[in-house]
Amino acid sequence: MRIAFYAPLKSPNHSVPSGDRLMARLLIRALELAGHSVELASEFRSFAPTAEIGAELQSAAASELARLRQQWASGPRPQLWFCYHPYYKSPDPFGPVLCAEFGVPYVTAEASYSPKRDQTDWAPLQQLVVDAVRNAAVNITMTQRDKAGLVRAIPDGRFADLKPFIDTAAFDVNAPSGASSQRLIAIAMMRAGDKMDSYMMLAAALRFLRDRPWTLAIIGDGPMREDVERQFAEFAPGRIQWLGELGGAEIADELRNSGIYVWPGCGEAYGLAYLEAQAAGLPVVAQKTAGVPDVVEAGVTGYLTPSNDIAAYAAAIGALLDDPFKRSSMGDSARHFVLGERSLEIAAVKLDTILRGYAGPMT
């Protein structure tokens, strides 16, 4: 099947790494692994920091829409349009229009709806998302939080579940080394907002655990690096290891040489790094918030503490530091969970089944 793939928030080819870019790439790989041919429909970025700019972007999209319309009219057209992560700040200005005109099935993945935006200047842009979801052949939901919001707003929509997944190839063969069970590790970009909030919470929690012999490795970089470093400046030299931005294989090695994955996950959509850490055999300590429960099995593969409860978060880390048996058993469960349920290969089969069931026969 010929599939046109479009990610309005961030193209899979975008130069800045992020979980959103990674998930877009993983979805493309899953579709290709299932036997479909995938082409990137457009590099046009529909993301807008303000509603006013968003309205301007929709006007700017007119020329790109005309180009795509001409392309579809004059040559082989896709058999399906696949839109990844449309939401009020980045609606899809092309797929719904083209699919309606040419009779092509329209599919979304990780769409979301925010009720509070209906009473703001974002309302017209969110309505574009609502209309697209309502008319889609199927909307693939990746977290229960997003699905619940969509179903409440659009009860007549069609929905199917696909849990977040990763390429487990880097973790399939090499088992955790157990080289440093007291080594904590976190992976995240250093930017304002939820990421900075998580760094601040992690630093605050570790202040409760000064008496434990832990070290913390931090993988990541970004515009807020100096601010992040200040949060951890009071800890003794050698306790914090700043690794900067690393590639996939390097990240896998660092995870295997660690003992516990610690990332609060403030406002986290779900966090693919949680799955990577678990694939490496690490138990996770995070908050029970946003989409995190969709990637960590509470009490089985890690601990999920109440939102904004720094003391509880610190206690959960301390419990794993103090209990090598629990740390090991949770790590084993985490590895089995990801390798057995959240691999690229498993997702490819599930994704193909969803498309066949909702978008018609694949010929």
Q: What is the tens place of the pLDDT at every residue in 207-251?
A: 999 999 999 999 999 999 999 999 999 999 999 999 999 998 999
State mean pLDDT over 19-26.
Answer: 94
- Residue 82, both tokens: 């696949």
Per-residue model confidence as pLDDT tens digits over 172-218: 775 555 556 899 999 999 999 999 999 999 999 999 999 999 999 99
Superfamily of domain 2-165+343-359: Glycogen Phosphorylase B; (3.40.50.2000)
- Residue 190, both tokens: 């250093």
Residue 178: predicted pLDDT: 52
Comparison of pLDDT for 15 and 7, the residue scoring more: 7
**pLDDT at residue 47 above 80?**
yes
Residue 344: predicted pLDDT: 97
- Phi, psi at 43, each rounded to 5°: -95, 0
- Burial class from Cβ neighbours inside 10 Å (0-12, 13-18, 19+) for residue 246 reads middle
Range with the poorest average pLDDT among 35-49, 160-174, 186-200: 160-174
Contact 19, 269 (CB under 8 A): yes
Q: Tell me which architecture the domain covering 169-341 has in CATH.
A: 3-Layer(aba) Sandwich (3.40)
2-165+343-359 and 169-341 in the same fold: yes
DSSP 8-state symbol, 13: T
Place of tokens 């990637």: 295
The pTM for the full model equals 0.92
**pLDDT at residue 363 above 80?**
no
Distance CA 134, CA 50 (A): 25
Distance CA 94, CA 66 (A): 9
Distance CA 55, CA 98 (A): 20
DSSP 8-state symbol, 225: H
CA angle (92 as vertex; 91, 97 as ends), nearest 5:
135
Spans of all domains in the chain? 2-165+343-359, 169-341
Nearby residues of 6 by Cβ (< 8 Å), 6 or more positions away: 40, 41, 42, 81, 82, 83, 84, 92, 94, 95
